[in-house]
Amino acid sequence: MINVIGLGYIGLPTALMLASHGVKVIGTDYNNELVATLNTGKTTFKEEGLDELFQKAVNTGIKFTTEYQVADTYIVSVPTPYDKFSKKVDPCYVIAAVKDIMKVCPKGATVVIESTVSPGTIEKYVRPEIEAAGLVIGVDLNLVHAPERIIPGNMVFELLHNNRTIGADNKIIGEKIRELYSSFCQGEIIVTDIKTAEMTKVVENTFRAVNIAFANELAKICRHDNMDVYEIIKICNMHPRVNILQPGPGVGGHCISVDPWFLVGDYPSIAKVIDESMKTNDGMPDFVLNRIYEIMKEKDMIDVTRVGLYGLTYKENVDDMRESPTLQLLESQERHLATGLKVYDPFIKDDVVNNQYHDLNTFLEAVDFVVIMVKHDEIKENMDKLKAKIVLDCHNICKLPDVYHI
């Protein structure tokens, strides 16, 4: 039996995928409201194919509870934030989960940590907790790291098809967990050591963050000297060995905007390129805010309450707002003692910010200046409604004349 600890954006789909492929699974989360929602037969976030997967898992017997279970294997999928000052990973949720597991686990159980951590985290923080409890690793409890590799908006497909990495002390245990994931994973599954597995996951997201930062820095350079960054990138990408990404209003989510900081925190004197790249990405919401004020000045527009931000989520066509560039921009605006920007996102139904609208037409009626922060399909399909508006397009998706860009 598998006990999945943490039923958020990663833990829940993983639990459902295992259960729907014939594995006995009980999902555990400390959030009573979340567990209650799942037990009423409803998912807690929107994702293509998730409701169908949920129903299949329920039909095969998955259970949800706030209690840790006696199980052969535990999959820990809890948040791993970073300390905003030191940039180091904060393993408190992982440590808490492992401590609670040790209270109920039978001898020989395996703990699989899916949460993304910096290289050496399990060695520095998790092993000492197990040893302090008087357990012998490899005898009383086995440790494995199997970092997730999926993205919101395409979770179900990627769980099925993406390659995976299993890090383990013992190759036999590693192969056992590889077999478990093979129950649903159709990609290649590599078995290696724990520290290598920790590092590969962080490096994957760091690679993406650095490349995004390069595109964002190009956008700033081109804006400074009145050049078209999109035309330049288009021409450069015609080179057979060049593939520059598109700039944007910032980086959000709980991977690219967080994981690279782990390396900066652990290797501050070495990870210089990563550090500057993350600062570049983190500075984009402020850059967009400055562009808004530049355009308002150019248009002799003085009423900030007639400016609307389209999109609250961190990426298109999901309801995930973690580390959202729009939220970062609004926080920056408040630090400058200014408020009034209106906000709308078709995927966010609850009121999470001030001046939030829940209908596109009502939102557009209330603003003269639209800032496209997120390229949801909805706005792509309704570009004609922006014809009479001032538009700052942060993603180069609007083909109307006289559109502003970052």
Active-site residue set:
201, 255
Q: Write out the two tokens for 85.
A: 């000052």
Closest CA to 29 of 48, 47, 49, 9: 9
Q: Return the H-helix or E-strand segment holding 301.
A: none
Strand 164-168 relative to strand 141-145, pairing? antiparallel
Reading the block at residue 342, the tokens are 């209106």
Phi–psi pair at 156, nearest 5 degrees? -65, -45
Contact 66, 32 (CB under 8 A): yes
Distance CA 245, CA 237 (A): 9
3-state secondary structure 328-362: HHHHHHHHCCCCCCEEECCCCCCCCCCCEECCHHH
Q: Residues 6 or more apart from 406 whose CB is under 8 A from it?
A: 219, 223, 247, 248, 249, 284, 287, 288, 291, 392, 394
In 3-state terms, what secondary structure has residue 199?
A: helix
Residue 331, burial from CB neighbour count under 10 angstroms (0-12, 13-18, 19+)? exposed
- DSSP single-letter state for residue 385: G
CB 288 within 8 A of CB 369: no
CA-CA-CA-CA torsion sign (23, 29, 31, 32): positive
Determine the Cα–Cα distance for residues 205 and 212; give it in Å rounded to an integer. Answer: 11
Q: Do 34 and 66 form a contact (C-beta atoms < 8 A)? A: no
Which residue, among 146, 79, 81, has the nearest Cα to 111 in the 3D structure?
146
Contact 131, 137 (CB under 8 A): yes
> What are the strands, taking DSSP E only, across 63-205?
63-65, 73-76, 109-113, 141-145, 164-168, 189-192
Q: Cβ neighbours of residue 44 under 8 Å, at least 6 residues apart?
A: 7, 12, 34, 37, 38
Q: Residue 104, Cβ neighbours under 10 Å: how many?
A: 14
